[in-house]
Amino acid sequence: MNHSKQIFILFMLALFNGNLLFSQRTQKPPLHGKNWMAITGKPLAATAGAKLFQEGGNAVDAACAMLASTCTMWDVLSWGGETQVLLYNPKTKKVISLNAMGVAPTGATAEFFKSKGYAFPPEYGPLAATTPGTPGGLCHLLAEYGTKSLQEVLAPAMELAAGYPIEAQTANSIERQKGLIKQWPYSKSVFLPHLGEKREAPETGEIFVQQDLLNTLNKMVEAEQQALMKGASRKAAIQAACNRFYRGDIAEEFVRGCREQGGLITKDDLARWKPIEEEPLHVSYKGIDVYKMQPWTQGPSMLQALNILENFDLKSMGYNSVPYIHTLYQAMSMAFADRDFYYGDPYFSPQEPMKGLLSKEYAKQRATSMNRNQNDSLIGPGDPYPFEGKQNPYTHWLKSRYPTSEKEEKRNFAPAHDTAGIAFEESTYSERLWMGTTSIEAADKEGWVVSITPSGGWIPACIAGRTGVGMSQRMQSFVLDSSLNPFNVVAPGKRPRVTLTPSLAMRDGKPYLAFAVQGGDTQDQNLLQFFLNMVEFGMTVQQATEAANINTNQLWLSLGGNKITERQPRPGNLLLSDKTPSSVREALKSMGYKLSFEDRTSGPINAIYFDWKHGSLWGGSSNHGEDYGIGW
């Protein structure tokens, strides 16, 4: 019996078992609401969103309150990080995108980092910091689309900063990372209240006080209130608070504290930065318009994958059957190969070929080239330029980095000079693959919809002076070598290509889904499958958030590691649910996959589904993490 026939028989044996992987029962109940829905990464932060709703605020007010609270609770982010927003405005009936990503500071060049022996900008510390984006993003979002004052929106976060009972996840993360935290004096004073004791981090349930951060938030509110007293409009008053952070005494202390510890951020860097409203990108998948942000995020990779998968009958394959898993893996690997080479900040040249990358014709070409029987370990970037009537200027790099001849089949995916010394902890690699953010979803009966994936400044964060603000670590997502990605080479004022990726979907001109997830490079993998779970397999929103997903490691890591060998793709590495039937496992192994297993593989997905038939909202919040929602 030849190899192809063996694989076909294994397909048939696994097809039925694959469909059994999805259970109708969920570990968490779905959320239901008629008036509003608030979901995010921490229960207390979801309560903050509910509080703003109860006080008469709209979904934007609630989302801003949740954003402020998650930053204050260090839910894998802090106030010095970055914020990405997709917003549906029911007044204009349009989806807009808010880019509140910080930029590389003055002096942050490839030559600077190479001179210090780095292959990528560092993972932690002051040299990893872009300028803060979250304070400006929150202020812009609230001023333009909210109804409440900054004082009202920040009130829950300020109460948390004054002291809240810290939860085990954050407290234990601090204890694990205390070796790094001790390098930075301001971080040490905030995070390690029990220096010299066996446990130096706060204990679970201990009241965690952040007086410096509370002072910073008070200064912003003070600037707003003073402006209002002088007759400023609500918008102008909120802008006054923003100005104090980026151009006033808060900025001065932030820059002093950053540079004292070896960082590069200047006063001019802060003063020049501002959030930007952008047109989101979108594709139509079977009549559903799916929106993502511009290619300074990885969001378009999900759109590319949807375009490729539209060429296959996924429903007939069956949920998590062998053919489905294989097709999904190949499509995601193709989309991520394009992400890794073609995505970057569109405000800098060269210009990303997004028209070609998102064209249906390009996707069909990619789908046609897919190996149906084996994992293709040599998947590399495609050539989207002909699909926008241009010639690819980077074919020399593509040919050298992604060979396609049969003689190269056993060669590692990375270039030959990058493959030495791959001795690397699997747990460390997985942590970097999943390295997270949080997600915020809010909607109300007036039609406002908000989807946010903020991040940056996670523990172990380097706090900038006496501001209480942890600096972003997003510089590490740049590259230093144009042959890795000519669009994402670090430069002052430039945004790194980040993993952060909120999502909105529209059907028949109305909101259909708002969804987001944490998890580094796995974000658009899990979001893609969540979407397909609902659209192709008819799951409810809660079932779709809990359903077992797969993850591909056949991509370049965006986070962690200062060596090429620590970031390069791992062809065929496939994460599955530990409940995957043995017939499915064996079939996938025969196709060249290297399998690993986890008990929960959904990712911490948060989502809102709009039930227009009944005039209600459904909330889904995965059983994977601390994510929590409240509806009314």
Mean pLDDT throughout 1-30? Answer: 57
Say whether both 203 and 74 belong to one domain: yes
Inform me whether the pLDDT recorded for 21 exceeds 60: no
Cα 354 to Cα 367: distance, rounded to the nearest angstrom: 18
**Rounded to whole angstroms, what are the CA distances from 496 to 126, 345, 586?**
16, 7, 40
Say whether both 426 and 542 belong to one domain: yes
Asked if residues 545 and 513 have their Cβ atoms less than 8 Å apart, the reply is no
**Amino acid (one-letter) located at 547:** A
Domain end position, chosen among 500, 533, 548: 500
Choose the weakest-confidence range: 393-397, 444-448, 477-481. Answer: 393-397
What's the pLDDT score for residue 585?
A: 98
Rg (CA), the chain: 24
Mean pLDDT throughout 310-329? Answer: 98
Asked if residues 141 and 232 have their Cβ atoms less than 8 Å apart, the reply is no
Mean pLDDT throughout 331-354? Answer: 98
Residues 6+ apart with CB under 8 A from 139: 150, 238, 239, 241, 242
Cα 103 to Cα 124: distance, rounded to the nearest angstrom: 16
Inform me whether the pLDDT recorded for 23 exceeds 70: no
What's the pLDDT score for residue 435?
A: 53
Inform me whether the pLDDT recorded for 338 exceeds 80: yes
Domain encompassing residue 470: 45-81+99-277+439-500
Say whether both 245 and 324 belong to one domain: no
**% of residues, the chain, pLDDT over 70:** 91
What's the pLDDT score for residue 501?
A: 95
Say whether both 203 and 230 belong to one domain: yes
Most confident range (mean pLDDT) of 18-22, 128-132, 415-419 is 128-132
Confidence of residue 600 (pLDDT cuts 50, 70, 90): confident
Cα 361 to Cα 363: distance, rounded to the nearest angstrom: 5
Mean pLDDT throughout 281-307? Answer: 98
Asked if residues 154 and 73 have their Cβ atoms less than 8 Å apart, the reply is no
What's the pLDDT score for residue 404?
A: 46
Cα 514 to Cα 534: distance, rounded to the nearest angstrom: 13
Supply the CATH number for residue 390's domain.
1.10.246.130
In a domain, 53, yes or no: yes
Q: How many domains does the chain have?
A: 2
Confidence of residue 603 (pLDDT cuts 50, 70, 90): confident
Confidence of residue 530 (pLDDT cuts 50, 70, 90): very high
Inform me whether the pLDDT recorded for 555 exceeds 50: yes
Q: Which two tokens stand for residue 226?
A: 């003073």
Q: Which residues pair with 452 in a beta bridge?
A: 85, 440
Say whether both 159 and 57 belong to one domain: yes
In a domain, 412, yes or no: yes
**Rounded to whole angstroms, what are the CA distances from 204 to 172, 236, 254, 454?**
8, 41, 29, 25
Cα 104 to Cα 35: distance, rounded to the nearest angstrom: 41
Cα 254 to Cα 270: distance, rounded to the nearest angstrom: 9
Mean pLDDT throughout 301-306? Answer: 98
Say whether both 485 and 399 belong to one domain: no
Cα 255 to Cα 269: distance, rounded to the nearest angstrom: 9
In a domain, 36, yes or no: no
Q: Which residues pair with 628 in a beta bridge?
A: 40
**What does DSSP assign to residue 128?**
G
The predicted-structure confidence for 238-265, as pLDDT tens digits, reads as follows 999 999 999 999 999 999 999 999 999 9
Q: What is the 3-state secondary structure (H, E, C) of 213-248?
A: HHHHHHHHHHHHHHHHHCCCCHHHHHHHHHHHHHHC
In a domain, 132, yes or no: yes
What's the pLDDT score for residue 2?
A: 56
What's the pLDDT score for residue 407?
A: 36
In a domain, 454, yes or no: yes
CA-closest candidate to residue 308, choices 397, 379, 369: 369
**% of residues, the chain, pLDDT over 90:** 85
Residues 6+ apart with CB under 8 A from 210: 72, 161, 190, 468
Inform me whether the pLDDT recorded for 403 exceeds 50: no
CA-closest candidate to residue 262, choices 82, 491, 471, 558: 471
Say whether both 247 and 364 belong to one domain: no
Say whether both 429 and 449 belong to one domain: no
In a domain, 34, yes or no: no
Cα end-to-end distance, the chain, whole Å: 60
Confidence of residue 624 (pLDDT cuts 50, 70, 90): confident
Cα 486 to Cα 479: distance, rounded to the nearest angstrom: 9
What's the pLDDT score for residue 4?
A: 52
Q: Look-up: residue for tokens 């076909």?
A: 8
Q: Which two tokens stand for residue 369?
A: 């080239």
In a domain, 628, yes or no: no
| pTM of the complete model | 0.92
CA-closest candidate to residue 303, choices 504, 535, 570: 504
In a domain, 505, yes or no: no
Cα 82 to Cα 103: distance, rounded to the nearest angstrom: 10
* Mean pLDDT, the chain, integer: 91
- Considering only residues 436 and 583, tell me which one the structure prediction assigns the higher pLDDT: 583
Confidence of residue 401 (pLDDT cuts 50, 70, 90): low
Confidence of residue 15 (pLDDT cuts 50, 70, 90): very low
Say whether both 402 and 253 belong to one domain: no
Say whether both 316 and 401 belong to one domain: yes
Confidence of residue 76 (pLDDT cuts 50, 70, 90): confident
Say whether both 273 and 286 belong to one domain: no
Say whether both 17 and 130 belong to one domain: no
What's the pLDDT score for residue 437?
A: 77
